[in-house]
Structure 1
Amino acid sequence: MSAMTLQDAVAGTPHVAADTGWLGRACSGIEHICAAVLALNVGVIFVSVILRYFLHSPVDWAEEVARALMVVLVFLGGATVLLKGEHVGIDLFRKLLPQSAQAVARHVGAWVVAGTAAALFYSSVELLQDSVNVTTPIGLPQWLNVLPVCIGSALMIVAAVVQAMRGDRATRWPSLALCVALGLAAWAWNSFSPEGLHARPWMLLTACFFGTLIAGVPIAFVLAASALIYFIAEPSLPMVIYSQQVMAGMDHFVLLAVPFFVLAGLLMEANGMSSRLIELLVRMFGRMRGSMNVISIVATAFFSGVSGSKLADIAAVSGIIVPAVRRTKQDPNETAAVLAASAVMAETIPPCVNLIIMGFVANISIGGLFIAGIVPAVAMAVGLCAMAIIVGRKVDPLLAFPLRKPMIPLLGGALVALVMVTMIGKGVTSGVATSTEVSAFAVVYALVVGGLAFRELTPRGVVRLFVKSASMAASIMFIVAAASSLAFVLTIEQLPVLVSEFMTNLAAHYGKVSFILASVLLMTVFGAILEGAPALIIFGPLLTPIAQQVGVHPLHFGVVMVVAMGLGLFSPPFGLGLFATCSMTGTRIENVMRPMMKYLVLLAVMLLGLIFIPEVSLWLPRVTDML
């Protein structure tokens, strides 16, 4: 799998960790600590499952220890991801600025990140002091949970300052002066202007949100900085609550499934399961019309049932299928469009990370969402395959893989992978184990069974996979943590009440379908601008209760929201996922947009069908008694 993350693909940020100096060595050391923490967490959950289900001797410390290790992973890992420039962000808005302003905006963004990290450090130190005499339910000192936040935020300050000191010296200090001047101007205006003319905290929050987004600040720090501005502007809020809310965003057992499923997907690809499966599909269906693109759709759907991460799926499939496409003299732009569209389809294939996040923030059954998403995904996959066949052409499959593996190993690889997918699906939907426990089993299965079956993993390779998984998980989960602080602020501003009143009135006057359509439009737009997870975290808990009030089933609404978010994420011209797909496939977005449009129109039509026919998502949960 490509080591490229979304931030690399969108902004092309260089990897600082490749430096040979002390900073690069320190970053590498912290990455390996995070990898060890991730491995230990897998071991804790796996052992607790064995003790509970097989030896009937449950332990009461496993969940709390796992959550504490998660805090270490997110905040230490978040610092290394920042140092390497891999946090999810978008450069598109910054590139619309005049050339002379782009360098200033880049440095302003780095100083904003440094200031936000400094505020988080200050708040976490206060929280650490308040936690000295507090113990957890199992008797551990509470300050142990807060300490990683202090250390991680201090490392983030260093990483942000390092980023700010790079580049053009002529804009380095003027950009810092600009940040300070803007802060002083806001303070002076509210201090000396008539009270009726004061800038309200929500106004400053909004200005910070759009300003940092335009400057290209990573999405996690756009959310964290916006919440921070509100805390500073609202004197009734003590700063200690800021770090509390950031911690609260990811301190949940169910979210451990995110790094575990990402790791399982990486292990599956490194084991050779993915390459064997794709080659098998080419050997079986390579001579049909549009075969390579159909195989891309099927392979993306298959891997989505393991990794949970859409970008991981695209990286795994594109790394194998795109070279084969070029060898068969097909258009790689068409394949890139198919992969992006397939990622939208795969948003509802369990164990999708965004389904887990939606279920968590909106208090919807994750197992129910997994079941509800299967039929819509199958329907979209069939539609995409039909389109690929209609517009495709026949190729010679012998050109796709010059070196052909024997058929028996190919079948064996597919069988091992199929057992893994079946184990994940059956474990979650049967209620025998939680998604977190199943994901830990998936990691152990991919590591042990896959390693023994194919013998392509080396100890050094395993370490690299754990390091990569820890970085990817930290990047995702730090967004969740930062979005929690913003959601807290929006609650104080009674935004949920305002949205609830507006959307309830909309449903009362125009029906519940109009409510769903408005929600879809909102999620599509913000899914493109904010990236998937933050949009779900902010709007999921706001809109889901309203949906239930107006008679929309939460499973149906959750699936619709996730699909709409995916449609925005992979839609031109702002969709971050489409930028990442083009980078991974070696194509340009302006060349992919035209072939992409027919697939987007098809997906939009199928989304409308999903909205107007709720049984598409509710039939299988009803049959399996998940309603």
Structure 2
Amino acid sequence: MTALTASTSEAPAAVPEYGRNTVFGRWLNRLLSSTEWLSGIVLAVDVCVVFISVIYRYFLHDPVDWAEEAASALMVLLVFFGAASLLGRSQHLGVDVLRGLLPSRWQPLLIHMGHWIIASVSASLCISSFLLLADSYSQTTPSGLPGWINVYPIVIGSLFMTLFAIANALNGATYLVVGSFLTSAAMAAGVFAWNTFLPEYSLTPGVLLCVGFVGGLALGMPICFVLALSSLLFFLAEPSLPMLVYSQQVLAGTGHFVLLSIPFFVVAGLLMESNGMSSRLIELLLRLFGRVRGGLGLITILATAFFSGVSGSKLADIAAVGGVLMPAVRKTGEDPNETAALLACSAVMAETIPPCVNMIIMGFVANISIAGLFLAGIVPAIVLALSLGIVAVIYGRKIDSARAFAQRRRWLPLLGGALVALIMVGMIGKGVTSGVATSTEVSAFAVVYALVVGWLAFRELTVRSVARLFVQAASMSGGILFIVACASSVSYALSLEQIPDLLSGTMLAIANHYGATLFLLVSVLIMTVFGAVLEGAPALIIFGPLLVPVAQQLGINPLHFGTVMVVAMGLGLFAPPVGLGLFATCAITGTQLRAVAPAMLKYLLVLCIALIVLVLVPSFSLWLPNHYGL
């Protein structure tokens, strides 16, 4: 029921069969592999640039003026090459629940129509970026670099996306390939003819944006291309906008230095998993708490909270915890469905534990202090963790932790390994809360620490494994940030349609009639629903900038509002039946949704009650920020 096809804990999949017996197929496979490795190299270089910049600034007191701009330019390359490689492997995240409601005999045709539409969107982005490239030659960046350095990545990346999308569309029976192409072309021609020959009844840009959004979801397309299609239709139908504005707005969502913390924290989390930090910590927790009633559930909650404080990515957290914990669950005879259910709900709890990616995105799009959001999320996460822990103890039992390990580590090395990991978490927390460094700079330090100290302590990393890890992290990060980029173009289109003013007026009317509390509860409901339908980042990017100004007009602290919005988004993301995060959890843990969903109900009920308490009691979110003067 989801387009997610690979576990995040694995290295990049084997090269796909793009037709190994044809020259074009072999060339395309080599292009895909080269794109993946290049994006991994770019990510590694970006880490080095930021880390060296931090060293020069804080220790040598000689800041490198061009470092931030160069790092941002490299990130643009990372985004579009990473997104292209994910498209080549068909691993972009998407939900096909709406398509599943249609007759099964239609499914193959609809899937191939989605491929052709993705190819059309990619080609349109490529054409638009060529126009933007021509315009960029007369411009320079603030530090004097040529303006085209930020445009070439989107040109090349969108070209690669087009090639991979066409290859995906051609991969099928001839009648499906031809039939889906003709059907898609006929629909496009029909819309064009309608607007051309019936101008008085023409479909407005806003209507086409909505049609593209709903239609893309109905076809089960990846979320990023649903957003890209929606904004593309808007720009094509809006006569006052030149085509280059489309790629310009997509590009505008990527070149921000603060967003670099997302791939850096993802790398740090994957390094912890690969260098043995995660397995040592979970073994320590199992041996300490295994014989406590509900100990396995408590370990799941604690381990998820811990890794959320390092990787920042929920999929990386689930992969790190589930990949190590689930074998132990099965060896001790525990129910894997119960553990998977609690793991998914623990991911909701961990949404506000710094340095969560979605907190970074929320702060970026809504202009809220990211350091303040990090602090505001800690106490709510503790409240949610305690709530889940109580339920886990009530429904849990004691386990024999000795059965979980074929060979147990000695206590001293085990404690030392856990200490190394705890120091890393403390370093991240102190760096962010002290204000000494930005979240991006702290994340670069976390990568270097996990790489150097982890290798020195455990000697479990090799040059090849680290290289493949950077490739994997680049693809994951490219997928996340490409969603941000496409959602940026949708936000621009919505602003031109004056949707923010309309939503602001509606929500203010609700607040004026029923109070700010009902506004908060309605906002939570909106974010929960769209967190399930859209995936986390797009829901925050679209609704964050719309709702935060209204909340501020009503006297609601933006740190409190941002925190409860992220929790609500996480609740939708992991809730059955359509939450994309739940599908990812089931894929990683080797469980089935129909078996996990009933086990989740008691945990979801507790999370909903705790979320309402967090909404009604702002002091949970504001105590720490007030204590630190944020």
- Residues 262-315 of structure 1 show CA distances to partners (whole Å, capped at 9, x for unaligned) of 000000111100000000011111101121121011100000000000110001
Q: State the alpha-carbon separation in 1 of the partners of residues 31 and 241 from structure 2.
A: 36
Equivalent residues in 2 for 1:154-193, closer than 5 Å: 154-193=159-198
- The residue that corresponds to 2:265 in the other structure is 261
Task: Give the counterpart letter for 1:180 in structure 2.
Answer: A
Contact 2:3 2:95 in 1 (8 A): no
Counterpart of 2:354 (choices 350, 353, 369) is 350
Q: State the alpha-carbon separation in 1 of the partners of residues 15 and 258 from structure 2.
A: 31
Q: State the alpha-carbon separation in 1 of the partners of residues 432 and 347 from structure 2.
A: 22
Counterpart of 1:92 (choices 91, 97, 110) is 97
- The residue that corresponds to 1:434 in the other structure is 438
Contact 2:340 2:591 in 1 (8 A): yes
Q: Is 1:469–2:473 an aligned residue pair?
A: yes
Q: Report how far residue 170 of structure 1 moved.
A: 1.9
Task: Give the counterpart letter for 2:143 in structure 1.
Answer: I
Equivalent residues in 2 for 1:114-153, closer than 5 Å: 114-153=119-158
Instruction: State, as a whole percentage, how many aligned pairs show the same letter.
Output: 60
Q: Is 1:34–2:39 an aligned residue pair?
A: yes
- The residue that corresponds to 2:498 in the other structure is 494
Q: Report how far residue 96 of structure 1 moved.
A: 2.0
- The residue that corresponds to 2:319 in the other structure is 315
Equivalent residues in 2 for 1:55-454, closer than 5 Å: 55-193=60-198, 195=200, 197-454=201-458
Q: State the alpha-carbon separation in 2 of the partners of residues 214 and 114 from structure 1.
A: 17
Contact 2:529 2:572 in 1 (8 A): yes
Contact 2:3 2:222 in 1 (8 A): no
Report the 3-state secondary structure (helix = DSSP H, G, I; strand = E; otherwise coil) of the residue aligned with 2:494.
helix
Q: Is 1:525–2:523 an aligned residue pair?
A: no
Q: State the alpha-carbon separation in 2 of the partners of residues 150 and 254 from structure 1.
A: 23
Equivalent residues in 2 for 1:43-54, closer than 5 Å: 43-54=48-59
Q: State the alpha-carbon separation in 1 of the partners of residues 89 and 246 from structure 2.
A: 25
Q: State the alpha-carbon separation in 2 of the partners of residues 163 and 431 from structure 1.
A: 47
Unaligned runs of 5+ in 2: 21-25
- Residues 175-197 of structure 1 show CA distances to partners (whole Å, capped at 9, x for unaligned) of 111111111111111112251x2
Q: Residues 578 and 170 of structure 1: is their aligned pair in 2 closer, same or farther, counting only changes over 3 Å?
A: same
Q: Report how far residue 502 of structure 1 moved.
A: 0.2
Contact 1:67 1:253 in 2 (8 A): yes
* Range with bigger deviation, 334-343 or 164-173: 164-173
Q: State the alpha-carbon separation in 2 of the partners of residues 6 and 53 from structure 1.
A: 42
Contact 1:16 1:85 in 2 (8 A): no
Q: Report how far residue 168 of structure 1 moved.
A: 3.0
Q: Residues 169 and 153 of structure 1: is their aligned pair in 2 closer, same or farther, counting only changes over 3 Å?
A: same
Contact 1:74 1:473 in 2 (8 A): yes
- Residues 472-492 of structure 1 show CA distances to partners (whole Å, capped at 9, x for unaligned) of 010000000000000000000
RMSD: 1.4
Q: Is 1:589–2:593 an aligned residue pair?
A: yes
Contact 1:17 1:83 in 2 (8 A): no
Q: State the alpha-carbon separation in 1 of the partners of residues 29 and 129 from structure 2.
A: 26
Counterpart of 1:504 (choices 504, 508, 513) is 508
Q: Report how far residue 163 of structure 1 moved.
A: 0.7
Q: Report how far residue 26 of structure 1 moved.
A: 1.8
Contact 1:8 1:85 in 2 (8 A): no
Task: Give the counterpart letter for 1:573 in structure 2.
Answer: P
Unaligned runs of 5+ in 1: none
Q: What TM-score do you get using the length of structure 1 for normalisation?
A: 0.97
Contact 1:292 1:321 in 2 (8 A): no
- The residue that corresponds to 2:629 in the other structure is 625
Q: Residues 39 and 194 of structure 1: is their aligned pair in 2 closer, same or farther, counting only changes over 3 Å?
A: closer
Report the 3-state secondary structure (helix = DSSP H, G, I; strand = E; otherwise coil) of the residue aligned with 1:450.
helix
- The residue that corresponds to 1:514 in the other structure is 518
Q: Report how far residue 5 of structure 1 moved.
A: 9.4
For these two proteins, the number of residue pairs brought into alignment is: 619
Contact 1:7 1:89 in 2 (8 A): no
Q: State the alpha-carbon separation in 2 of the partners of residues 163 and 390 from structure 1.
A: 49
* Range with bigger deviation, 310-319 or 164-173: 164-173
Task: Give the counterpart letter for 1:495 in structure 2.
Answer: I
Q: State the alpha-carbon separation in 1 of the partners of residues 538 and 367 from structure 2.
A: 16
- Residues 323-363 of structure 1 show CA distances to partners (whole Å, capped at 9, x for unaligned) of 11111111111001000000000000000000000000000
Counterpart of 2:15 (choices 1, 14, 17) is 17
Q: Report how far residue 562 of structure 1 moved.
A: 0.1
Q: Residues 15 and 270 of structure 1: is their aligned pair in 2 closer, same or farther, counting only changes over 3 Å?
A: closer
Contact 2:362 2:540 in 1 (8 A): yes
- The residue that corresponds to 1:548 in the other structure is 552
Q: State the alpha-carbon separation in 1 of the partners of residues 177 and 125 from structure 2.
A: 23
Q: State the alpha-carbon separation in 2 of the partners of residues 156 and 603 from structure 1.
A: 40
Q: Is 1:576–2:580 an aligned residue pair?
A: yes
- Residues 505-557 of structure 1 show CA distances to partners (whole Å, capped at 9, x for unaligned) of 11111000111111011000000000000000000000001000001100000
Q: Report how far residue 139 of structure 1 moved.
A: 2.0
Q: State the alpha-carbon separation in 2 of the partners of residues 178 and 594 from structure 1.
A: 40
Q: Report how far residue 586 of structure 1 moved.
A: 0.9
Contact 2:531 2:572 in 1 (8 A): yes
Task: Give the counterpart letter for 2:465 in structure 1.
Answer: G
Report the 3-state secondary structure (helix = DSSP H, G, I; strand = E; otherwise coil) of the residue aligned with 1:413.
helix
Contact 1:336 1:581 in 2 (8 A): yes
Q: What TM-score do you get using the length of structure 2 for normalisation?
A: 0.97
Q: Residues 55 and 194 of structure 1: is their aligned pair in 2 closer, same or farther, counting only changes over 3 Å?
A: closer
Q: Report how far residue 95 of structure 1 moved.
A: 2.1
Q: State the alpha-carbon separation in 1 of the partners of residues 94 and 396 from structure 2.
A: 34
- The residue that corresponds to 2:23 in the other structure is none
Task: Give the counterpart letter for 1:261 in structure 2.
Answer: F
Q: State the alpha-carbon separation in 2 of the partners of residues 397 and 132 from structure 1.
A: 64
Report the 3-state secondary structure (helix = DSSP H, G, I; strand = E; otherwise coil) of the residue aligned with 1:17.
coil
Q: State the alpha-carbon separation in 2 of the partners of residues 194 and 566 from structure 1.
A: 43
Task: Give the counterpart letter for 2:91 in structure 1.
Answer: E
Q: State the alpha-carbon separation in 1 of the partners of residues 410 and 475 from structure 2.
A: 36
Q: State the alpha-carbon separation in 2 of the partners of residues 480 and 488 from structure 1.
A: 12
Q: State the alpha-carbon separation in 1 of the partners of residues 30 and 135 from structure 2.
A: 34
Q: Report how far residue 6 of structure 1 moved.
A: 4.1
Task: Give the counterpart letter for 1:317 in structure 2.
Answer: V
Q: State the alpha-carbon separation in 1 of the partners of residues 236 and 199 from structure 2.
A: 20
Q: Residues 376 and 313 of structure 1: is their aligned pair in 2 closer, same or farther, counting only changes over 3 Å?
A: same
- Residues 144-177 of structure 1 show CA distances to partners (whole Å, capped at 9, x for unaligned) of 2111111001000001001101123221111111
